[in-house]
Amino acid sequence: MTRTTGTGPARTGPASSGPTTPRTAGSRTAGEFQRLYGAAPEGVWAAPGRVNLIGEHTDYNDGFVLPFALPQRTEVAASRRTDGILRIHSADTRSGVVTLDVSSLDPAHSPKGADGWAGYPAGVLWALLDADLPVSAGADLHIRSEVPAGAGLSSSAALEVATALALTEAAGLRLSRPEVARLARRAENAYVGVPCGVMDQTASACATDGHVLHLDTRTLAERHLPFDCAAEGLALLVIDTRVTHDLADGAYARRRASCHAAAAALGLDALRDLPPAGLEEALGRLADPEQRARVRHIVTENDRVARVAALLTAGRLRETGPLLTEGHVSLRDDYEVSCPELDLAVATATAAGAYGARMTGGGFGGSALALIDAEAEAAVARAVTEAFARSGFTSPRTLVAAPSAGAGRLA
């Protein structure tokens, strides 16, 4: 059952408040909740979006990723209900309050159309109840986000993780952060129906301030590596190309299938088990040139993650730049998931002095990331914006992303 009422503010779309919205530590979101539902929330929880420094498309190959959390967050104000009703409102959509009957939450009938966004928080409650966790089978939720949606910065994981924390902590449960990430991912996989890997939710739930998260997606072992840009006079510039990646589902599924087929042909559990030293011999055993290119990307990408991690551990941040650019070339040429806007962002940023740059996220749009001198931020951003204008592309949005803390309670 889905009912929609028109009580919510009409806004222009997710994250219309933009990434530069000042931190309110939950008070604005709590105030909006009170006006909407007539009582103060039991609490406000927040979870960040993420950028992947390097390790792209490796997560469904049991490989390695190196994401960090953005300062931009999604806030969820929440109160439990005991009548089996879930009410959800987002300041970032045009929908009003979406009202759902918790007993009929069902992956086969998740919210569709204009209310599709409500499937993310509803899916989280479904995943928690399906795991037999003692959370209340009903809630009032109000959402407000600074994370640009659909920009490859994981606004979906931020929303899921913040909701999962809200629903569990309001019920007095203290789940481990990896467990929160696992349940949030289950909501996206099983309820929303997006076959994402484990990286996005783990970064949002588990990242720590000033660090990138080295995650082994097979064992889920975490290492938190220092990445103190400011101390080195560096900055990470995120360039949102404004190209949406909505149409990429089939391409993503084909790449996934190609990797799994190649691993099977090579007698491996996953491509993660192919070391760089064995790459040439393995490629000689694969007949299909497309499959060979896909394998080359995954194996070299896992190796780049290891090399970037070693440089960070040694405090040699600037030297990671060329590896980022190498990663972009591999994604563009071997994995074929870039697009003209991403290629232009990377080429322009590096020509304007970036130490390195790459597309980040699944590709076909979304965002690029450039490692630059902090003082060059305005110049690099301007160069990219001008290059986009010359090419007739939609003006990109840029933001500086310092590695920030993972999810937590605000109020």
Question: What residues act catalytically?
Answer: 200
Name which of ligand ADP, Mg ion, none residue 149 binds, using a CB cut-off of 5 to 8 Å depending on partner kind: ligand ADP
CA–CA separation, 26 and 34 (whole Å): 12
Q: Considering the rule CB under 6 A, would residue 240 count as an interface residue with ligand ADP?
A: no
Q: Considering the rule CB under 6 A, would residue 181 count as an interface residue with ligand ADP?
A: no
Q: Considering the rule CB under 6 A, would residue 156 count as an interface residue with ligand ADP?
A: yes
**Which of 36, 125, 149, 274: binder of ligand ADP (CB under 6 A)?**
149
Name which of ligand ADP, Mg ion, none residue 19 binds, using a CB cut-off of 5 to 8 Å depending on partner kind: none
- Residue 95 vs 348, nearer CB to ligand ADP: 95
Q: Considering the rule CB under 6 A, would residue 29 count as an interface residue with ligand ADP?
A: no
Q: Considering the rule CB under 5 A, would residue 350 count as an interface residue with Mg ion?
A: no
**What separation in angstroms does the CA of 325 have from each of 95, 214, 312, 364, 397?**
41, 19, 16, 17, 20
The enclosing H or E element of 371 equals strand 367-373
**Angle 323-311-270 (CA atoms, 0-180°, nearest 5)?**
65
- Residue 135 vs 158, nearer CB to ligand ADP: 158
CB 177 within 8 A of CB 205: yes
- Residue 8 vs 138, nearer CB to ligand ADP: 8
Number of residues binding to ligand ADP, judged by CB under 6 A? 19
- Residue 14 vs 327, nearer CB to Mg ion: 14
For residue 74, the cross-strand partners are 47, 145
- Residue 62 CB, nearest distance to ligand ADP (Å)? 22
**Which of 37, 60, 68, 120: binder of ligand ADP (CB under 6 A)?**
120
**What separation in angstroms does the CA of 397 have from each of 5, 204, 229, 241, 345?**
33, 22, 21, 7, 11
CB 150 within 8 A of CB 397: no
- Residue 195 vs 276, nearer CB to ligand ADP: 195
CA dihedral 356, 358, 361, 362 (to 10 degrees): -160
- Residue 238 CB, nearest distance to ligand ADP (Å)? 12
Residue 359 CB neighbour total at 10 angstroms: 31
Tokens of 108: 């086969």
CA–CA separation, 309 and 225 (whole Å): 7
For residue 80, the cross-strand partners are 139
Q: Considering the rule CB under 6 A, would residue 154 count as an interface residue with ligand ADP?
A: yes
CA–CA separation, 183 and 133 (whole Å): 11
| Segments of 117-258 assigned E as strands | 139-145, 211-216, 222-226, 234-240
**Which of 42, 56, 62, 92: binder of ligand ADP (CB under 6 A)?**
92
In one letter, which amino acid is 61? N
Give residues 150-169 in contact with Mg ion (rule: CB under 5 A): 154, 156
**Which of 26, 152, 321, 363: binder of ligand ADP (CB under 6 A)?**
152
- Residue 151 vs 274, nearer CB to ligand ADP: 151
In the bound complex, which residue of the shown chain has the CB atom lying closest to Mg ion? Answer: 156
- Residue 35 CB, nearest distance to ligand ADP (Å)? 18
- Residue 29 CB, nearest distance to ligand ADP (Å)? 11
CB 366 within 8 A of CB 343: no
Q: Which residues bind ligand ADP (CB under 6 A)?
A: 14, 74, 90, 92-93, 116-117, 120, 143, 145, 149-156, 159
Q: Which residues bind Mg ion (CB under 5 A)?
A: 154, 156
